[in-house]
Structure 1
């Protein structure tokens, strides 16, 4: 998987800046625990930390061929086909790595190589012939890449921390950055810190002596769907089989993340078929409890564990549950690690539990397949089927998450709402449409687009940071751009042909799974219901309210916070008070640790 970092400066001799370039690179050490490389020429420094997955001996980086040097993070799942095509043109290879295929593809096709790649990737490529740097990110934004223009070049890295490690960049935050922190609709290109940007998914950023330019090479488009429902279901199955087979390529141990839901269960079953019956490993997360077992809440009808175990038995996977305690979830060390991994405030126990789950998995596997993004692709969330959410003039998922703002200052809440409204209308203006599409079909195309370009990026960032903090490569088959394009242009009536959520996916994989899992209603990533975890969060909030110098204090509605603390512990607070308390605590931790200047 790996982490990359670098620096271009057309007015400075960077051969004298080795220590700084190395410091930037070493901020990526957790992403790449297996190897380190640094390549420096007068005007460019490229750093790489490697997590060895394919061609462990030969795939070291930075990798050069003639005038071109590459630092690469991710996987190109079609590298074998591309390699054969390049060999037919006379290219010769020294390694078995996909990195060298990307490098040779650039030498053959230039920047147009991006149109040929299938995978998750973020890479930087320096061409000595033109003294230009290309920064490239995959179509869906699975792998992160940030950059900060300087007066004479650019700084870049897989995560903000690489840029923050260079003294040319100062951590500053404007009002817009603060508001971005408080939303769950990721604004394309926005990196929170003033002067820092994300390379947007499906974009190439070119850095030259003339400055920085940005080109989009891929976007969702609207096309007529030619297939009826049976043909659509069949094609989805064909795509999934091909995608999973490609994403099982690995020279290191591989597993699946299993929640007992339709998405992860389908991947586990498909992986088992591709690898050979009874060979796949699977892992699930669960929590210790002090209060009598699982109780349904507004988001979750059923506990995961019974379905997880039924799928594991049905498939014959080598399964393990990772059981987390409240002490682990509220551990200051774990929470600090999560925040440092994100370079942003966490979203509470759901971040920490994901990090701890991945840390345990990493003891056994280096690569994991995840069902992330199936809900965005196939329409799995409950609000896809809620008339009120569909009709709302905002991101539909925001209706269920407003509780997280409950303890923020009223004026700040008003500004957050305005910011979200503006970002919502910007997103609507982008939606590709068919001329004859009207009514509900037109609106559902909009809803799907919002999820695929705003919500999914928020979730992919979370998955990337928590997994790479322990050196685990998580692959997301449902983000294959061929599947995304095909299903995006499938009519909503096809996507709900059986009157339920994720009809196409259910129809495509029903023969692989127990009937109970096929019929199970969507249940989000689990959150602990253990009251001792909420006590720990309340204790943290009480400490903040008692500290007049806590940096979050100007943004807190103190009366509302004290009222929340007076209410009794209860599971109903999981989606209400607790979420709001976690937000205050995590924001305070971030402001304390990162100390961003107000720009």
Structure 2
């Protein structure tokens, strides 16, 4: 959008920007241009395959048009359609896209508060010469923007913005901090000058500039229900959420890890589908060749997933498939390039990104929509550090205090001393922590421990869960798979956030409420299973291949990573025995080098 140029003459550039989103929308494409706005869209068709083409335009006689480009799903679109029909609106399609457009015409930016779902959308209102950028409450769907002298560039991912020559590819000290901190700072787009629409935020761009407004945030209030009523309410919400998220005009499946969260979603989906006479649910899981047979407990994982996956699949009568990967696939240069392209950033997770990408790629051959158990740990307090006194009492983000969290910070060990001084990651994390604590909605009279656990929950729901949601969105949409996350339904999040911590742990374990709400759906072995995160390969061949790749880079005098990385420190890590921290550091090193080359990033780490 630009108020000084005629964007009808910039159609080629707009097409290039739209083309970068072909992975997110393989089914259709569209481009609408006018003097001051160019709106592009790539469609992944889920609801009303024949209708729902975008950009969708509402034209009223004698008035300028309103144009919508929309990504995601609104799960209450049928109720909204009925309400809008009663208000006189007439619909040409069955799509939720048209419901969003008509809702804007009726309620303006107030529509955001009426939507239940995962979404990111832009509305160009030519009547008022105003652009609205809107993101869902939990930040499930991404949306970025880049202000220009007379307007703004925007897109679902950074790559869409970077396709425009007006956007510079600069990494300054602030961007490097965000890359390495393992804390998701709201609105930070990493590239200098680029921003991300915050979850629950509306960004308005007009001739008066850029304005931002939060239409949703967590609030605190007294919880009136006892344990029994709380468990019933949680289950009732989940019944409704999963039922809504089963609506699809394309094949749907569930992601199954054998843990409490994904097992509950899979079993509930299977139950609801049987009750509707729609057959059984398909489910998929990831495994590594030889992983279960040779499994060794590590810092965070005490059991392999596969035995529990198979037990739940039998119990729920799911049509299940294991996707089994080997180290050669995880280190395949084409796969790693695809992961980097999906991420747009060197996140350094390595095999866990590659395996998720390959899992989703395999699933896409069978299904277009998948239900996930993501975010239950943040909502219900499932991570081990929620229950670790030292982590809870630490004056920082609790996930940074654990051995597993420290391993993610291994990349800091690679930085040149001069870069480390400028970036000051400990200071940056401390400042982000202070800012996050200042946002926590307080409850008058709340006791010390209950008050602290409210803070811990808030930190996870605003500074941690987005890291995982970003990963799942990028890896799934890179292959045109839509992943839905029932535990991110804002009604469930709001309700559980205000349940006292003592009630969330009433049975002496993590996720007490979810376990009780799932008791009739799951076998005892899964109900009793201790939290086990997404698996990482334990194959020694993977670590050898990673160290060999890092050693190759150290022999390359032209590596752009040398401006940030101390070659001596990197060589020492290559020579050390494998560990989670060393793997994290070398993954980051290898991916940072590739990112700087592929994205032709300009470094300016002296600028904050």
TM-score bracket relative to the smaller structure: over 0.9
Query: Which residue number in structure 1 is paired with residue 352 of structure 2?
Result: 350
Counterparts of 2:563 and 2:157 in 1: how far apart (Å)? 28
Task: Report how many aligned residue pairs link the two structures.
Answer: 588
Q: How far off is 1:245 after superposition?
A: 0.2
Which runs of at least 4 in structure 1 moved beyond 4 Å after TM superposition?
none
What do you get for the CA RMSD once the two structures are aligned? 1.3
Note the 1:149-168 alignment, pairs <5 A. Answer: 149-168=147-166
Query: Which residue number in structure 2 is paired with residue 63 of structure 1?
Result: 56
Describe the superposition over 1:116-174 as per-residue Cα deviations: whole angstroms up to 9, x where unpaired. Answer: 00000000011111011111000000000000111111100000011100111111111
Counterparts of 1:22 and 1:39 in 2: how far apart (Å)? 10
Note the 1:544-555 alignment, pairs <5 A. Answer: 544-555=553-564
Contact persistence 2:292–2:306 (CA under 8 A): no
Q: Secondary structure at the match of 2:346?
A: coil
Query: Which residue number in structure 1 is paired with residue 335 of structure 2?
Result: 334
Query: Which residue number in structure 1 is paired with residue 414 of structure 2?
Result: 408
Counterparts of 1:291 and 1:148 in 2: how far apart (Å)? 46
Counterparts of 1:410 and 1:302 in 2: how far apart (Å)? 38
Q: 2:46 aligns with which of 53, 61, 69?
A: 53
Q: Secondary structure at the match of 2:33?
A: strand
Q: How far off is 1:561 after superposition?
A: 3.1
Query: Which residue number in structure 2 is paired with residue 490 of structure 1?
Result: 499
Counterparts of 1:388 and 1:286 in 2: how far apart (Å)? 33
**Alignment of 1:294 onto 2:298:** no
Query: Which residue number in structure 2 is paired with residue 188 of structure 1?
Result: 186
Counterparts of 2:132 and 2:83 in 1: how far apart (Å)? 23
Counterparts of 1:292 and 1:125 in 2: how far apart (Å)? 53
Q: How far off is 1:291 after superposition?
A: 10
Please, what TM-score do these two structures have when normalized by structure 2?
0.95
Q: How far off is 1:413 after superposition?
A: 5.1
Query: Which residue number in structure 2 is paired with residue 395 of structure 1?
Result: 397
**Alignment of 1:433 onto 2:442:** yes
Contact persistence 2:180–2:412 (CA under 8 A): no
Q: Secondary structure at the match of 1:312?
A: helix
Note the 1:38-49 alignment, pairs <5 A. Answer: 38-49=31-42
Q: Secondary structure at the match of 1:506?
A: helix
Describe the superposition over 1:404-455 as per-residue Cα deviations: whole angstroms up to 9, x where unpaired. Answer: 2363236455611211111111111111110101211011101100000011
Query: Which residue number in structure 2 is paired with residue 314 of structure 1?
Result: 315
Contact persistence 2:300–2:532 (CA under 8 A): yes
Query: Which residue number in structure 1 is paired with residue 62 of structure 2?
Result: none
Counterparts of 2:54 and 2:412 in 1: how far apart (Å)? 47
Counterparts of 1:60 and 1:343 in 2: how far apart (Å)? 27
Q: How far off is 1:576 after superposition?
A: 2.3
Contact persistence 2:574–2:586 (CA under 8 A): no
Counterparts of 2:411 and 2:513 in 1: how far apart (Å)? 35
Contact persistence 1:544–1:553 (CA under 8 A): no
Counterparts of 1:576 and 1:199 in 2: how far apart (Å)? 32
Counterparts of 1:316 and 1:290 in 2: how far apart (Å)? 25
Counterparts of 1:39 and 1:291 in 2: how far apart (Å)? 52
Q: How far off is 1:289 after superposition?
A: 3.0
Counterparts of 1:551 and 1:559 in 2: how far apart (Å)? 16
Is the alpha carbon distance of 1:60 and 1:290 closer, same or farther for their aligned partners in structure 2, counting shifts above 3 Å? closer
Query: Which residue number in structure 2 is paired with residue 5 of structure 1?
Result: none
Q: How far off is 1:198 after superposition?
A: 0.5
Describe the superposition over 1:513-569 as per-residue Cα deviations: whole angstroms up to 9, x where unpaired. Answer: 010000000000000101111111101111122223222234334444333333345
Contact persistence 1:405–1:413 (CA under 8 A): no
Contact persistence 2:46–2:248 (CA under 8 A): yes
Note the 1:549-588 alignment, pairs <5 A. Answer: 549-569=558-578, 573=579, 575-588=580-593
Describe the superposition over 1:486-536 as per-residue Cα deviations: whole angstroms up to 9, x where unpaired. Answer: 001110001100111111100100110010000000000000101111111
Query: Which residue number in structure 2 is paired with residue 362 of structure 1?
Result: 364
Query: Which residue number in structure 2 is paired with residue 3 of structure 1?
Result: none
Contact persistence 1:25–1:47 (CA under 8 A): yes
Q: How far off is 1:292 after superposition?
A: 5.4
Q: How far off is 1:90 after superposition?
A: 1.3
Q: How far off is 1:39 after superposition?
A: 0.4
Contact persistence 1:69–1:125 (CA under 8 A): yes
Q: How far off is 1:468 after superposition?
A: 0.3
Note the 1:375-390 alignment, pairs <5 A. Answer: 375-390=377-392
Q: How far off is 1:290 after superposition?
A: 8.0
Contact persistence 1:407–1:581 (CA under 8 A): no
What runs of 5+ residues in structure 1 fail to find an aligned partner?
A: 1-7
Please, what TM-score do these two structures have when normalized by structure 1?
0.96
**Alignment of 1:97 onto 2:95:** yes
